[in-house]
Amino acid sequence: MLSECRLCGSDDLTLWMREGRNRDLNYYRCGNCTLWNYDLDCGLDQTQYTETYVSPSDTGHRYNQDNLRSWAFLKQHLGEPGTLLDIGCGSGGLLHPAREAGWQVRGMELSEQTANNIREDQDLEVIVSNFLEYDNPNGDRYDVVVLRHVLEHLPDSKLAMTKIGGLLVDGGLALLEFPNTASVSYGIKRHLKNRGLKNKKYAQDWRPGHCNEFCRESFNYLLEQTGFELAVWQTYSNKDFANAFYRVVPVASKARALVRKKPR
Ligand SMILES: [Zn+2]
């Protein structure tokens, strides 16, 4: 059983959602910062997310459509082209349009194989590293850092933001994307799982990959603790027709946040 919130340290935790086939994989919601904390003692599995290479030249592919949406959002908030690092850059689907727009881009990937695929296909620079362990040997600083669908997988959210801060110039921007616990779909999912109505699809040994789940409030708390301020918050889905609605009522299942590193 979890004794304190991994983000704020509060012991004000409520058993919030019971996951898995036997409903014995527990998420606790923090009454102070609102983070959903998965109890890591129940076991985490990050091996279910391996992806195949999709060249950015295949612009009709769904994967690239998602990347192009991220870039379309990001570019409207950027000034003159500068330097950009995409952590967990996948197949380079965001680096590609950013470079086309004049940005000096670099990716970071865990896998040597993925990095090689990108280098060969696109002649892009890719650092092979776990970013929480990356020590930035040349002291590089970027104008923009991107981290999409990674934050929720990391137990130490503050370390992740501190690492991003170390890679940014003062006033630099970071784009983060992650699921939104304040969404309609999360509310329904929680309701169903707590009643055992959506759990039979899981294998006995299935374990989640998400350990820290955010909404705007808990994310803001994280920013305050790590020297950032929120510039833009938007929720989105993969259905373009629905996104006009979600611009007005921010209850979509995924969130996109542009944050600014405060000068020290
Ligand atoms: Zn908390």
Q: Are 233 and 172 in contact (CB under 8 A)?
A: no
If you measure from the C-alpha of residue 7 to the centroid of ligand 1, how many angstroms do you get, rounded to a whole number?
A: 5
What span, in angstroms and rounded, lies between the C-alpha atoms of 202 and 18?
A: 13
DSSP string, 116-148: HHHHHHH---EEES-TTT---TT---EEEEEEE
Q: What is the mean pLDDT of residues 173-182?
A: 98
Q: What is the mean pLDDT of residues 200-220?
A: 95
Q: Where are the domains of the chain?
A: 13-45+59-261
Q: How confident is the model at residue 83 (pLDDT cuts 50, 70, 90)?
A: very high
Question: Domain spanning 13-45+59-261: which CATH class is it, in words?
Answer: alpha beta
If you measure from the C-alpha of residue 13 to the centroid of ligand 1, how many angstroms do you get, rounded to a whole number?
A: 8
What span, in angstroms and rounded, lies between the C-alpha atoms of 256 and 149?
A: 10
pLDDT value of position 216? 98
Q: Which two tokens stand for residue 66?
A: 């998602």
Please write the tens of the pLDDT for every residue from 46-69: 877 667 899 998 888 888 999 999
If you measure from the C-alpha of residue 110 to the centroid of ligand 1, how many angstroms do you get, rounded to a whole number?
A: 29
pLDDT value of position 253? 94
User: For all residues of the chain together, what is the average pLDDT?
Assistant: 94
pLDDT value of position 78? 97
pLDDT value of position 50? 66
pLDDT value of position 246? 87
Angle formed by the axes of helices 216-226 and 157-167, nearest 10°: 60
If you measure from the C-alpha of residue 146 to the centroid of ligand 1, how many angstroms do you get, rounded to a whole number?
A: 25
What span, in angstroms and rounded, lies between the C-alpha atoms of 93 and 42?
A: 34
If you measure from the C-alpha of residue 117 to the centroid of ligand 1, how many angstroms do you get, rounded to a whole number?
A: 40
